[in-house]
Amino acid sequence: MHHVIASSIRNIMQKLKNLKYSIGVTGTFPKEKLYDYLVLQAYIGPVVYKFTANQLINEEKRGTPIFIIFEYMNWATNEEKETLYILRSNKNNDDIQAGNKILKQERLFVNNSYTRLKFICDKAIQTKKNTLILFGDIKYGYGNKLYEYIKNNSNKDVYYVDGNTKNENREYYKECMEKDLEGNTIIVASIKTFGEGIDMKNLWSIFLVDTSKSDRIVRQICGRGLRLFPGKDKVILFDFVDDLRYSTHPKKYYKDNYLWKHALERKKIYQEQNFPIYEEKIKFK
């Protein structure tokens, strides 16, 4: 019931006049005191049982251990960082959408970086097992750029999925990955299509190449790797973070960039789930 706040589901629940029992299950129950938490219980009822990912993995042994690797990418020039810093510093505080507008500019800047794209794709090509690459918006074609680079620079079986991909094609791509025991399959998919609600057991690596700070979305993404598969002792989630912080001093930064702030929020979510976290700082020439 992690989509219970959607108007369509609320309408259904409101029209069930003679409902005797309602049972809701979700892998991403909202945090207490949040609006979503109250709405969910208003329609389904009080929480009667919680079963965490940590219990599933470490106590019941029915989930694959998930390891998080933060890839801190320091690829932008100092001049580019300064420009973004000036934008953040001069945002209109009277405009409640000001931060979101700057975030969009930051994401567009990041998605136009060939250096970033090449690093991510080369790392995916080097993986020895099946990999899922999750990107965000399809508006500017970033997912297609990832797909085309990997397709043209490797012998991998690579597939692309977004909201316009037919269901039968999505199922075919998933089936190809499940049957691929050589670990040669990469699926490049939007978070909205393959970030939740799909079941792929023969999946060993997840690349999160876009930003999010939503507890529900991040936990759903982690859930893609939980499925058991013979020989699979762990799943690696690579979380790619763009370090666009501006500094005129080696140890002092001025206003963290939005993508960096979002990564800090994701780190808290991983820590709450007791996932082991490793960090790697990537510097580019």
Quote the longest CA-to-CA distance of the chain.
Answer: 66
pLDDT in tens, 135-185: 998 888 999 999 999 999 999 999 999 999 999 999 999 999 999 999 999
Instruction: Using alpha carbons, select from 247, 222, 241, 245 the residue that is nearest to residue 279.
Output: 241
Q: Does position 6 have pLDDT exceeding 80, yes or no?
A: no
Q: For the chain, give the number of residues.
A: 285
Alpha-carbon span 77 to 64, nearest angstrom: 39
pLDDT of 110 reads 96
Q: 212 or 28: which carries more pLDDT confidence?
A: 212
User: Which stretches does DSSP call E strand in the chain?
Assistant: 66-74, 131-135, 157-161, 185-190, 205-208, 235-242, 246-249, 252-254, 277-283
The mean pLDDT value for 234-262 works out to: 89
Per-residue pLDDT, 1: 63
Query: What pLDDT shows up at residue 4?
Result: 59
Give the integer Cα–Cα distance in Å for 16 and 29: 23
CA distance 222 to 34: 21
Instruction: Tell me the backbone φ, ψ of residue 148, rounded to 5 degrees.
Output: -65, -40
Q: Mind giving me the DSSP string for 166-200?
A: -HHHHHHHHHHHHH-TT--EEEEEEHHHHSSS---
Which 8-state DSSP code applies to residue 134?
A: E
The predicted structure's pLDDT at residue 33: 72
Summarised one tens digit per residue, pLDDT across range 49-91 is 888 888 888 888 889 999 999 999 999 999 999 999 999 989 8
- pLDDT tens digits along 87-111: 998 988 889 999 899 999 999 999 9
CA distance linking residue 121 with residue 194, whole number of Å: 18
Q: Per-residue confidence at 17, pLDDT binned at 50, 70, 90? A: confident
Question: CA-CA distance, 50 to 29, in Å (whole number)?
Answer: 9
More confident call, 193 vs 35? 193
What stretches of 24-130 adopt beta strand conformation (E)? 66-74
